[in-house]
Amino acid sequence: MSEFKRISPEQALALRAEGAVVVDIRDPQAFAAGHIAGATHLDNHSVADFIRSADLDAPTLVVCYHGNSSQSAAAYLVGQGFSNVYSIDGGFELWRNTYPAETAQGSAE
């Protein structure tokens, strides 16, 4: 079984440009206030549907607040059969500071 990888926001930006899926595991209010453009909000209620409809081989980027919780979520996705999972170091906070133009607002994308 593969393991998830930790990557920098710079690496994540490049993978996203190549079509990687971005999932955000922060609470709904934080997601609505700002998230990586194109990200899908993932929580306990939506994860099963996400896994059922996902391409398990597509690069999947997991983001949380600071890059800690996303590691557990990334490991969970690997355990569910995803083969190409990344946790973004520094989380959304570092992303927002590094790439403010690459963020969006709203509750669903």
Mean pLDDT split into 10-residue runs, the chain, 109 residues? 89 97 97 96 96 97 97 97 98 97 83
Q: Pick the catalytic residue from 12, 22, 36, 64.
A: 64
65 is catalytic: no
Question: Which stretches of 1-109 are assigned E, i.e. beta strand?
Answer: 5-7, 21-24, 35-36, 40-41, 60-63, 85-88, 103-104
Distance CA 8, CA 98 (A): 11
pLDDT at residue 108 in the model: 60
Q: How far apart are the first and last CA of the chain?
A: 31
DSSP 8-state symbol, 100 = G
pLDDT at residue 103 in the model: 95
Report the candidate in 58, 66, 67, 60 with the shortest Cα–Cα distance to residue 40. Answer: 60
pLDDT at residue 107 in the model: 79
Distance CA 98, CA 28 (A): 22
pLDDT at residue 76 in the model: 97
